Amino acid sequence: MMEKSIGADAQRVDGADKVKGNALFGADRILPRMAYALPVTATIGKGRIRSIDTAEAEAMRGVLVVLTHLNTDRLKPLQFVFAGGHGIQSFQPLQSDIVLYRGQAIALIVADSLEAAQAARSLVRVDYETASFAVELDGRGSETVNQSTALPYFPDFVAGDADRALSTAAITVDETYTTPAQHQNPIELLATVAEWAGDCLIIHESTQASQGLCGGLALQLGIDPASVRVISPYVGGGFGQKNSIAPHTVMAAVAARRVGRPVKLVVPRDQVFHATSFRSAAKHRIRVGADSTGKIIAAIHEMRAQTSRFDLMPFTGAETTSRMYGIPNFRSGVTLVKLDTQTPGFMRAPFEMSAFFALEGAMDELAYKLACDPVELRIANDTHTDPITGKAYTVRRLADCLRRGAQQFGWARRSAEPRSMRDKDGTLIGWGMAAGAYPVIIAAALATVRLNADATAEVWVGGHEMGQGIRTAITLVAAEELGIEPQKIRVTIGDTIAPPQHVTAGAWGTATATPPVLEAARSVRAQLIELAGSKADSPPGSAQYGELLKRSGLSHLDGHAQWFAPGQKPEVIAKAKQGLIAIRGPEFPDCVAFSYIAHFVEVRVNPRIPRARVARIVSVVDCGRVISKRTARSQVYGGLVWGVGAALSEESEVDPRFGGFLNSNIAEYQIPVNADMGSCEVDFIDEPDLKLNSLGVKGLGEIVCVGAAAAVANAVFHATGRRVRDLPIRIEDLM
Ligand code: MOS
């Protein structure tokens, strides 16, 4: 009998393949006669190309062609993902002389070797006509729109009468918090290998959306989606950067068609900052009012967030801040600020990371004003009814996250006064905490599970392995149900040969892929029991599978399942098959669902050179049932690194004189390294949320960094007495 696999600390099933170099990422494909493409990008903030001279570059040995707006293929329009399309943005470079932002591609060099392409880049001569532009949230020349008016699908969140209730509050906080633009910077760069076989296009790419790429490319190129296959078995980090079709992919496809050879295009790190999405800069005015007992009676959360000049990227942080606590009177409002960059998009916990820096900072400020413990304040304002819809939450173990985290951290030993805790050498010690929530979102999926006569199995389902461990989770579910070892199961995901490959994002991957896999495996199991002719409720041991199938003259057994989120209609499968987003949640027909987290952080600050360093973090998560403990824990570690980065170092710098993002490299865009992290302790509540799916899975990828930056900032306040409301917190803020 095999050990219980689900929830156990099982190994990452693709770990060995990754370590041995057998796992093929997008750019790892090396095809015969492959050519290399490299974009040339605009060096002005905005304007148009007056002339572009590619003669010298094209004359260089090894260069096959230089594509510009003058000679490249015309593409059909692509819609922005929030306008119902497949694109990371609607604007497609190389289609005209227009330059909408610094870093936009304006030419593509295609050469025999990467070296030739690199060398030719500097030989492209461009003469620009410049135009004025805006890149700052409060800068001149921007344009603003009210989100709920411009995008009725993203309304404000309202309960009761927040303005009236706030005016009666005994204690109020009214502060402005800002978070900068940030870039995802996964280790793996954006990369496409495009090859044509006659009229059929094969794309090898690391993407979170192989179906989206398939549907989007077909539209752009005006070809049948059935003649496009996108293959993406591994992604070296996505974080939202790779969840829709970005300009480099179609450029590679067009280049491959033009030169009649496969083309590899790897977007260099310095270009990545303008080649796809990023997290918009945001500013939050947050007002919270409580009565004298610490019961919060009202909150108003108003946001300004950046979008591009040509697309409206919504900012939906109040979807979650409005339901974090039982605040009976609430109102939100969002102003979108159109700036001259590429369109911002999703970056891990896309809105919540910023919105909870504001909310959880304000909660800390409120706790100090009330002279109340911040953990107790949050527990006192917990709720089981969603103030916005009046519906019940599904499993909501926020208070348990808070209590368990406080216990594991030793929170009771904290003295509340700022600057009251010091090490022997005078180092200031700060203990801070914050909580977070993230909506449970689920997509529709189909799964096939095949059991072979040699007791190996194959699984086909939608999903993308970005390192988060979805392949491991899928394997563990199938292994347990089929009663075979995880190593005997092969999982095909991220490949449009098994549609629909839902966009893997929003922390919905596991909750979407594993329920149909369970059901399909159950069907195989039922067939095994039937073949065995046994009245028992379990099939014989896997050693007998071969014999059973042989006796019945079968080479394999197939189980199929389709699965929808609660309240989702079967029609969504058609949408998903076109690579369009087909999701449900956080509101389901009779419930509202979120994942929760509590973070406890210790920072240490040298009083002479006041640089905050994170010494330890304890985080406790309610993400429903944990399917794959090892990869889940690892995902939380990653999210905490994000929290520390957001709090202390990460910012994409803009300058109104130049446009674009200027620190476009990971030397100057600073991400925490090992020495910046201290110790991280992670725990899971691990209670299945069975209202949502048969496995009780909620979501984990996004929740882990929600509130993390606030916890660090609150700890910095406790250490230093400085309340920094503008991220990142740098030495100069603490001088
Ligand atoms: Mo993720 S930020 O939803 O791709």
pLDDT in tens, 380-425: 999 999 999 999 999 999 999 999 999 999 999 999 999 999 999 9
Determine if ligand 1 sits within 6 Å of the CB of residue 346.
yes
For ligand 1, whether the C-beta of 347 sits within 6 Å is yes
Taking phi first (over 0 means left), then psi (-120 to 50 degrees means alpha), and beta for anything else, what does residue 611 get? beta
**d(C-alpha 181, C-alpha 223), whole Å:** 36
Token pair, residue 357, equals: 């820096």
Q: What's the mean pLDDT when you consider all of the chain?
A: 96
Average pLDDT of 653-682?
A: 96
- Given CATH 3.30.365.10, say whether it is the number of domain 144-182+279-440+589-734: yes
The dihedral sign for the CA sequence 486, 11, 236, 77:
positive
Q: Is the pLDDT of residue 1 over 60?
A: no
Do 144-182+279-440+589-734 and 15-22+442-584 have the same topology in CATH?
A: yes
pLDDT band of residue 538 (cuts 50, 70, 90) is confident
pLDDT for 302-317, tens place per residue? 999 999 999 999 999 9
Quick one: which atom of ligand 1 is closest to the CA of 504?
4
- Confirm or reject: Cβ of 240 under 6 Å from ligand 1: yes
pTM for the full predicted model: 0.97
* CA dist., res. 364 & res. 379, Å (int): 13
Please report the pLDDT score of residue 4 as a whole number: 58
Half-sphere exposure of 248 (CA within 13 A, CB side): 33
Q: Is 353 in the pocket of ligand 1 (CB under 6 A)?
A: no
**Ligand 1 pocket check for 505: Cβ under 6 Å:** yes
Nearest atom, ligand 1, residue 346 CA:
2
CATH class of 15-22+442-584: alpha beta
Nearest to 474 by CA among 15, 26, 1, 5: 5
pLDDT in tens, 136-178: 999 899 999 999 999 999 999 999 999 999 999 999 999 999 9
**Where do the structural domains in the chain lie, given as residue ranges?**
15-22+442-584, 31-131+187-237+242-275, 144-182+279-440+589-734
Tens of pLDDT, residue by residue over 130-145, are: 999 999 999 899 999 9
Distance, in Å, from the CA atom of 87 to the CA atom of 246, rounded to the nearest integer, reads 6
> According to the CATH classification, is domain 31-131+187-237+242-275 in 3.90.1170.50?
yes
Element (H or E) spanning 404, and its range?
helix 398-409
pLDDT value for 28? 94
Does 350 sit in the ligand 1 pocket, CB within 6 Å? yes
Catalytic residue list contains 702: yes
Residues 6 or more apart whose Cβ sits within 8 Å of residue 466: 186, 208, 235, 236, 237, 238, 239, 504
Any atom of ligand 1 within 6 Å of the Cβ of 332: no
Residue 2 has pLDDT above 50, yes or no: no
d(CA 347, ligand 1 centre) in Å: 6
- Tell which residue, 433, 133, 139, 435, has the closest CA to residue 283: 139
The answer to whether the Cα torsion of 552, 554, 556, 562 is positive or negative is negative
Identify the residue whose C-alpha is closest to ligand 1 atom 4: 240
Ligand 1 centroid, distance to 581 Cα (angstroms): 12
d(CA 524, CA 459): 12
> How far apart are the C-alpha atoms of 373 and 307, rounded to whole Å?
38
682 lines ligand 1 (CB under 6 A): no
Over residues 477-530, the pLDDT tens digits come to 999 999 999 999 999 999 999 999 999 999 999 999 999 999 999 999 999 999
Q: What is the pLDDT of residue 535?
A: 74
pLDDT of 536 higher than 90: no
Is 80 exceeded by the pLDDT of residue 34? Answer: yes
Question: 540: pLDDT confidence band, cut at 50, 70 and 90?
Answer: confident
Q: Helix, strand, or coil here: 722?
A: coil
Please determine, for residue 534, whether its predicted confidence score (pLDDT) is greater than 80: no
- Whether the per-residue pLDDT at 537 is higher than 90: the answer is no
Sign of CA dihedral 235, 239, 242, 248: negative
Ligand 1 centre to CA of 242 (Å) is 8
The atom of ligand 1 lying closest to the CA of 208 is: 4
For the stretch 550-597, pLDDT in tens is 999 999 999 999 999 999 999 999 999 999 988 999 999 999 999 999
pLDDT digits 0-9 by tens, 437-471: 999 999 999 999 999 999 999 999 999 999 999 99
Contact call for residues 302 and 174 (beta carbons, < 8 A): no
Gap from CA of 269 to ligand 1 centroid (Å): 20
Contacts of residue 327, defined as CB under 8 A and 6 or more positions apart, other chains included, come to 159, 288, 296, 297, 298, 299, 381, 387
Percent of the chain with pLDDT over 90: 96
Q: Which of 183, 207, 213, 239 to mutate to test the pocket of ligand 1 (most atoms within 8 A of CB)?
A: 239
Write out the two tokens for 626.
Answer: 């944990």
Find the 346 Cα to ligand 1 centroid distance in Å.
5
